[in-house]
Chain A
Amino acid sequence: MKLYEYTAANLSKLLRKKEVSSVEVVQSFLDRIELVEPYVKSFITHTPAMALDMASSVDRKRSKGEKLHPLAGVPIAVKDNISTQGLRTTCASRILENYIPPYDATVVKTIKQLGMPLLGKTNMDEFAMGSSTENSAFYPTCNPWNFERVPGGSSGGSAAAVSTGMAPLALGSDTGGSIRQPASHCGLTGLRPTYGRVSRYGLIAFASSLDQIGPLSLTARDSAMLMNVISGYDTLDSTALPEAVPDYTACLEEGVNKLKIGVIKQNVSEGFDPEITAAVMKAVALLKDDGAEVDEVSLPLTDYGLGAYYLIAPSEASSNLGRYDGVRYGFNAGGNNIEAMFSATRGRAFGPEVKRRIMIGTYALSAGYYDAYYLQAMKVRTLIRRDYEKAFKRFDVLVGATTPTPAFKIGEKTDDPLQMYLSDICNITDSLAGVPSLSVPCGINSVGLPMGMQLTAPPFSEGLLLKVAAFLEQKRTYFPLRPRVKLPQGGDF
């Protein structure tokens, strides 16, 4: 077994036992990147020198007997909307193509401090707006299970990188499904934490009241390890909550006996791909077999979730993206006067989906429309929260499909934004409610594409989600963890 094939937890063990050095680990991933990346296109910026520097620094410390964090020396890939000091952070947009942040996001600071080598910045939909990574201004990323398909989005680069062994762990961001949906399309575990669990400081905002940073990994344990370090209060983020951070790895083995599981009716819907529904129900049966109490639950407001989301998120985005005007940083198109400069800069450097959402949001916030759109959407959001509160009085965990269909073909939905938006239908209400939500693999369909099951729990119950995910992982003998990456010209990795 090559080093790049290991999980983060196992790499951590090997490193701590000094069976391998961090430089060897990093080199293995760099070699893998060299081989696979030209076909998959997971990264926007590669940082091999930075990664090796960090690795050798960790190795030196370890040889001196310094006490190190379990993840010290384990490399990671970071989505390109998370600010990295001195390293360009593009949001996959022309407007930030050459933007180099002068500061590290809080999560980046943390992973640097504990010695995780950064392999690179991963591809995404421009400003995290999209469900396929096709909205990247640079290039789309391929789904490693089938190159003709999308990896999901917007954290598609992070998902594809972990899935192909180009990184053992990755950070993504989830606004309306951007961690969970690509995790399900790539056969990974992806966790969207409770809103306020992880600092957003340095995460380039798409929709501030919805954005959360979270892990993508091969296993629940790997996500738990990463959650242990990125969670917690941050004096730089007023919306980061001071809730204590438990050891997320502590309860992974506990099993699911007596857990009350609610199957969300709307998320195993008749309109969904039957193979996915079947896979979800099979996983539910496994939980039941192990002593979980299962019942069906309806979240009737789910139908309004998509509409509310596509008013709230673009409204916030229209405001958040106003700062890209060419005055201080990023692309500047020039012009004869200030208005011409603003228009040309924004007109030329934003992609079509970003423009669409800015326009929707601007409209929804305009005088005369605010009450009918933004305010109404916020009311729906409150009702959705209550829906969840009610459901969580009866259930510990809610489950359903992560996506209605497996990964779709590249280009299939690019001309139909509504169809694209619908691919996040199962993910959006959790986001609006601010509750933690996780996608765990639940099978491979008849054409070899992974399928995901989404688990949702009350605020700050990430540990519970990871426990259930870990349980399903143990039962997972019926499909492989990773794709065999098949090259277009034949052969595979």
Chain B
Amino acid sequence: MKYEVVIGLEIHLELKTRSKLFCGCSTIFGKEPNTNCCPVCLGLPGSLPVFNRRAIELAVTAAVALNSSVQLKSRFDRKNYFYPDLPKAYQVSQYDQPLARGGYLRVELDGSSRNVKLERIHLEEEAGKLVHSGESIMGSDYSLVDYNRAGIPLLEIVTSPDITSGREARVLLEELRSVLLYSGASDCRMEEGSLRCDANISLRPPGSEMLGTKTEVKNMNSFRAVELALNYEAGRQEEILAAGGAIAQETCHWDEEKKETIPLRSKEGSSDYRYFPEPDLLPLVLEEAFIKEISAALPELPAARRERFKKQYNLHSSEAILFTVNRSLGDFFEAAAGKYSDYNNLAKWVQGDLLYYLRESGKTAEEIDPQKIVELLIMLDQGQINRPVAKDLLNEMVLKGTSPQKMVRDKGLERISGDEKLLPIIEKVIDENSDAVENYRQGKDKAIAFLVGRVMALTRGRADPGEVNKMIKEIISRR
């Protein structure tokens, strides 16, 4: 590409509070329409907002986790506009005195990592949800509105125009989700609309300091959609510029079906929200100690965890990322690593077979006792069981929580090996299958697999196929 891509994201996410931002109504998703409502979140005449302390705690938690500087004094403002999903005809938001300023997110991409800068973080209230009988509000016979979501606390995170590709935007969002999940501030469930993202994107000649004319891309409903939409839009802009055209400053809609960004007909002038300080709320004044307390209570965050996993357990970058993104799997690994020192072998089993069986069974690593995989791997390492048996035992362990040691004892699954136990069986198989032996001698390698299979069948899978293979060849060559 002849141009440098410049992207800034505006991310909205719902904070994980039990009640709404300004009233005691429940935030539970999926209730009957208009049942989680009260005079305050319905904006009934005379009702007034009162801060939800938990929402402020979680917003500060998120800000601290994102390295943003929490302001000791911030203010709430009214953003005025008419829409049926907005019960008061204004949204209580923060305009020129946001909760937190600056910050950054560390993103790892193609083996290198860098900090993407954040502009600001602020708190605001969610609107209701409209359901149209037709395509849109103007083209429908009727529209229905559900205010269950109205007043749910939202955090708006604005990044600097510091992102350079659709892929980086996606990685940033994944990292953001990880950080917020770790800090406990949000569930970040995109499918429930608890995380939404709009983007501003423009192109400029490489090395230029000036920003080009930007377009705003909306309606990207998954991280993948963000990547695709921004790549598409960058391409669309490049074509226009390459043909000597100019970018119109407008809003584009990502069409998930067509996989295209479609410019919306731009309105004359921009909306005037007539922001002014919300007179029903006092300014939000935070104590230094309150912020410190939250800061101190933060758990280890993803970037630090990845680094630690790499160093402490000598893991690959991809393993460290997996054990961070899949937090319970990483926690499982760590718990087991406390009692089992071959970290690379453990990591292989955890990210391989264990993760496979977990996905198959729909379980999470939290449900599995790490002690049991340690038992299993020790038995394998000591040659008490063979690899196929170990895999079966692992599956049983995931499905039923059975102890591998007990299973081995109860079902007699110890590995059969060595001259004493294995030799008589092998000799028996060679004696009974002289055709196959003959075929092998004539150079048909497949015949050996048949013989190994017979031995495995007779040992009910408890022999080591490699060992069996080796011993068969030896015996045949000696005869």
Chain A contact residues, CB within 8 Å of chain B: 81-83, 89, 91, 96, 99, 101-103, 105, 200-205, 207-209, 235-239, 315-316, 318-319, 322-323, 325, 327-329, 337-338, 342, 362, 365-367, 370, 374
Contact = CB atoms under 8 A, between A and B. Distances in A.
Contacts of B356: none
Interface string B267-290: 000001011100111100000000
Contact of A338 (B42, B138, B276): B138
A319 B44 contact: no
Given A201-B47, A201-B48, A238-B50, A325 B279 contact: no
A325 B48 contact: no
Contacts of A99: 45
Given A238-B281, A238-B282, A325-B84, A319 B47 contact: no
B207 interface: no
Interface of B: 39, 42-51, 78, 80, 82, 84, 87-90, 137-138, 143, 145, 272, 274-276, 279-282
A318 B82 CA distance: 12
B390 to A, nearest CB: 61
Contacts of A200: 46, 48
A342 B82 contact: yes
Closest 6 CB pairs of A and B: A322-B89, A209-B279, A365-B274, A208-B279, A204-B45, A202-B46
B280 A366 contact: no
B138 A337 contact: yes
Interface centre among B45, B48, B275 (most CB of A within 10 A): B45
Contacts of B87: 323, 328
B45 A323 contact: yes
Given A235-B50, A327-B145, A367-B272, A322 B279 contact: no
A185 to B, nearest CB: 26
Given A237-B48, A338-B138, A319 B280 contact: no
15 contacts: A82-B46, A89-B45, A91-B45, A101-B44, A101-B45, A201-B47, A202-B47, A237-B50, A238-B49, A239-B279, A318-B80, A322-B90, A328-B43, A337-B137, A338-B143
B269 to A, nearest CB: 10
A102 to B, nearest CB: 7
Given A235-B50, A236-B50, A238-B280, A83 B82 contact: no
Contacts of A319: 78, 80, 89-90, 274, 276
A338 B46 contact: no
B50 A322 contact: no
B89 A366 contact: no
Given A83-B45, A202-B46, A319-B80, A365 B276 contact: yes
A103 B44 contact: yes
A83 B279 CA distance: 20
Given A89-B46, A322-B80, A323-B89, 9 more contacts: A201-B46, A205-B46, A205-B280, A237-B48, A319-B276, A325-B84, A327-B145, A328-B87, A370-B276
A374 B276 contact: yes
A200 B281 CA distance: 12
B280 A239 contact: yes
Given A238-B280, A342-B82, A102 B45 contact: no
A157 B357 CA distance: 76
Contacts of A209: 279
Contacts of B279: 207-209, 239, 316
A208 B87 CA distance: 17
Contacts, number: 105
A101 B44 CA distance: 8
A110 to B, nearest CB: 15
A357 to B, nearest CB: 14
B84 A327 contact: yes
A205 B45 contact: yes
B46 A238 contact: no
Contacts of B43: 323, 328
B137 A203 contact: no
Nearest to A343: B82
Contacts of B281: 238-239
B88 A322 contact: yes
Contacts of A203: 46
Contacts of A362: 274
A137 B42 CA distance: 25
A96 B45 contact: yes
Contact of A102 (B44, B51, B282): B44
Contacts of A205: 45-46, 280
A253 to B, nearest CB: 37
Nearest to A99: B45
A105 B45 CA distance: 10
A375 to B, nearest CB: 9
Nearest to B80: A319
B48 A236 contact: yes
Interface centre among B82, B145, B281 (most CB of A within 10 A): B82
Contacts of B49: 238
Contacts of B143: 338
Contacts of B276: 315-316, 319, 365, 370, 374
Contact of B282 (A202, A239, A316): A239
Nearest to A235: B50
Given A83-B46, A205-B46, A322-B88, A102 B39 contact: yes
A359 to B, nearest CB: 12
Contacts of B137: 337-338
A424 B88 CA distance: 29
A196 to B, nearest CB: 10
A205 B44 CA distance: 10
A318 B78 CA distance: 11
Interface centre among A81, A96, A205 (most CB of B within 10 A): A205
Contacts of A342: 82
Interface centre among B44, B49, B281, B282 (most CB of A within 10 A): B44
Contacts of B47: 103, 201-202
B285 to A, nearest CB: 12
Nearest to B280: A208
A200 B47 CA distance: 8
B82 A322 contact: yes
A322 B90 CA distance: 8
Contacts of B145: 327
Contacts of B48: 200-201, 236-239
A197 to B, nearest CB: 15
Contacts of B82: 322, 325, 342
B303 to A, nearest CB: 38
Given A200-B48, A319-B90, A328 B42 contact: yes
Contacts of B45: 83, 89, 91, 96, 99, 101, 204-205, 323
A416 to B, nearest CB: 28
B12 to A, nearest CB: 22
A302 B90 CA distance: 32
Interface centre among A342, A365, A366 (most CB of B within 10 A): A365
Contacts of A337: 137-138
Nearest to B138: A337
Contacts of B84: 325, 327, 338
A28 B347 CA distance: 88
A209 B82 CA distance: 22
A325 to B, nearest CB: 6
A309 to B, nearest CB: 14
Given A236-B50, A238-B282, A366 B44 contact: no
A306 B191 CA distance: 52
Interface centre among A103, A316, A323, A342 (most CB of B within 10 A): A323
Given A102-B39, A238-B280, A325-B84, A366 B274 contact: yes
A365 B46 contact: no
Nearest to B271: A367
A318 B88 CA distance: 11
Nearest to A199: B48
Nearest to B147: A328
Contact of B80 (A82, A202, A236, A365): A365
A137 to B, nearest CB: 15
